[in-house]
């Protein structure tokens, strides 16, 4: 592979609407050549007013609805939305995760639209972007009367029962059934095996149900005083066998919670700084199959697709998928989880082709991906996923203007508590794309 590096001496780069690059300091860019193709790059630490200058836990409390593996910080979304869109614009994240970019867009008086194929991500995105006020949400939640659940606790998956006391689980089941009914989110009609994955909250009642589902997803497991499970990770659903063994060794107890009260307290905190004035939308669906009616509709795309070989979102959220009525094994069939370079490249092309189709001419897409380690026999090789994105983006019709290198501190890496300083995803790269 041909690789050269040259220091750029320009005072900025031709970028948006013929102006000089607004985000990079002069002389902060370099050029790399891979397989004969040159691409400019810089570091996130060298950007003017970089999100890296913001304090830890920067952002609206609503962003903390749930902790989820592989999420980018709200400050990053804020940076690109502020610099590359205006009030009233339509902002899309086709891999919306926990809804960071769509909700930040709403906070900035843009219309944030999020799409995700996994149920828990869809639920979190919708819970944030719909303008649901705390008081009206409380009235709705209090209307749920506790009775006998349609699901007998004896029939609940034993792996699920490892995490919850009988009292807490009984409440979860009743609330779950009512929310599913009002959201009209029927797992039987959403077929992950066949790929028939589509849903959005059509009514105000459905939006209220989705708001509470998002909160319930966020407190389902963790170690805070509002978490419903025995103490465990907030970010991902831990393996049942490991959790059972660890809980026994450390004498951890399943807490008896007042589930409604825990949900209300969480909602109060999330809305302690108010809510967005602009409402967005959330869709359950695939980034590779966006609606036909979205042709050249969006003013900006900011997203982070699954990293090659690195993420297993369905398994990481198996307990949350159970809450929403799904088996993580079925959900996994429709996610981009593969160790095949060819399959991953094709999936990225299909996503980028759709992104190009729905983006307005002259507008931008920012795609965040990370370098990953892959074993080849006894040798470990580093896959620079951004190279896949740049290659497939050009095939899809995009211009590649810049790559921003964004180092990940050890404590911020995926599964950081289980890794040494030199392990895990050590760098993200933001590929800056433009539709001609």
Give the pLDDT band (50/70/90) at residue 15: very low
Measure CA 57 to chain center.
17
Q: Per-residue pLDDT for 423 more than 80?
A: no
Q: Which of 30-44, 314-328, 336-350 has the highest mean pLDDT?
A: 314-328
**Mean of pLDDT values over 100-119:** 97
Q: Per-residue pLDDT for 197 more than 60?
A: yes
pLDDT at 34: 52
Q: Give SS3 for 305.
A: coil
- CB neighbours of residue 151 within 10 Å: 15
| Contact assessment for residue 426 and residue 407, using Cβ atoms and an 8 Å cutoff | yes
| Rounded Cα–Cα distance for residues 399 and 356 (Å) | 10
Q: Give SS3 for 428.
A: strand
Q: Per-residue pLDDT for 12 more than 70?
A: no
For 393-416, how does the pLDDT look when each residue is reduced to its tens digit (9 = 90+)? 999 999 999 999 998 754 454 444
Q: Per-residue pLDDT for 26 more than 50?
A: no
For 236-295, how does the pLDDT look when each residue is reduced to its tens digit (9 = 90+)? 999 999 999 999 999 999 999 999 999 999 999 999 999 999 999 999 999 999 999 999
Q: pTM for the full model?
A: 0.89
**Mean of pLDDT values over 120-136:** 96
pLDDT at 17: 35
| Contact assessment for residue 167 and residue 256, using Cβ atoms and an 8 Å cutoff | yes
> For a pLDDT cut of 70, what percent of the chain falls above it?
86
pLDDT at 147: 75
Q: Per-residue pLDDT for 71 more than 80?
A: yes
Provide the residue ranges of all domains of the chain, joining segments of one domain with +. Answer: 49-435
Q: Per-residue pLDDT for 359 more than 80?
A: yes
Tokens at residue 215, please? 């909160």
Mean pLDDT of the chain: 86
| Rounded Cα–Cα distance for residues 393 and 61 (Å) | 34
- Which residues, other chains included, contact 294 with Cβ-Cβ below 8 Å and sequence gap of 6+? 357, 358
pLDDT at 10: 33
| Rounded Cα–Cα distance for residues 103 and 91 (Å) | 10
Answer yes or no: CATH 3.90.1150.10 is held by domain 49-435.
no
């Amino acid at each position: 592979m041909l690789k050269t590096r040259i220091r750029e001496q320009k005072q900025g780069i031709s970028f948006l609407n013929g102006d000089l690059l607004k985000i990079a300091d002069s002389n902060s860019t370099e050029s790399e050549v891979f397989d004969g193709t040159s691409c400019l790059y810089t570091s996130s630490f060298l950007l003017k007013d970089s999100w890296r200058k913001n304090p830890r836990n920067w952002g609206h409390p609503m962003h903390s609805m749930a902790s989820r593996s592989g999420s980018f910080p709200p400050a990053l979304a804020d940076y690109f939305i502020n610099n590359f869109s205006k009030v009233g614009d339509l902002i899309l994240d086709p891999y919306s995760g926990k809804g960071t970019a769509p909700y930040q867009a709403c906070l900035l008086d843009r219309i944030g639209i999020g799409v995700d194929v996994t149920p828990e991500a869809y639920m979190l995105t919708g819970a944030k972007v719909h303008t649901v006020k705390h008081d009206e949400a409380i009235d709705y939640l209090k209307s749920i009367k506790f009775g006998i659940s349609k699901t007998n606790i004896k029939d609940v998956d034993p792996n699920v029962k490892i995490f919850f006391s009988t009292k807490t689980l009984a409440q979860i089941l009743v609330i779950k059934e009512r929310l599913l009914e009002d959201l009209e989110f029927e797992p039987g009609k959403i077929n992950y095996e066949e790929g028939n994955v589509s849903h959005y909250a059509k009514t105000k009642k459905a939006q209220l149900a989705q708001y509470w589902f998002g909160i319930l997803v966020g407190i389902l497991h963790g170690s805070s005083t509002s978490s419903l499970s025995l103490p465990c990770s907030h970010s991902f659903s831990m393996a049942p066998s490991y959790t059972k063994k660890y809980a026994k060794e450390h004498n951890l107890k399943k807490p008896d919670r007042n589930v409604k009260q825990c949900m209300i307290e969480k909602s109060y905190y999330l809305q302690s700084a108010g809510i967005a004035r602009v409402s967005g939308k959330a869709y359950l669906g695939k980034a590779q199959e966006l609606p036909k009616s979205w042709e050249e509709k969006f003013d900006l795309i900011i997203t982070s697709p699954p990293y090659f070989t690195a993420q297993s979102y369905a398994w990481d959220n198996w307990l949350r998928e159970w809450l929403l009525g799904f088996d993580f094994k079925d959900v996994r069939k429709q996610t981009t989880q593969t160790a095949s370079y060819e399959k991953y490249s094709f999936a990225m092309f299909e996503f980028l082709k759709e992104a190009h189709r729905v983006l307005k001419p002259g507008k931008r897409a920012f795609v965040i991906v990370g370098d990953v380690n892959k074993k080849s026999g006894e040798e470990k090789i580093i896959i620079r996923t951004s190279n896949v994105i740049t290659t497939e983006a050009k095939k899809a019709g995009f211009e590649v203007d810049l790559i921003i290198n964004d180092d990940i501190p050890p404590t911020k890496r995926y599964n950081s508590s289980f890794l040494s300083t030199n392990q895990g995803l050590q760098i993200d790269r933001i590929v800056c794309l433009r539709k001609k």
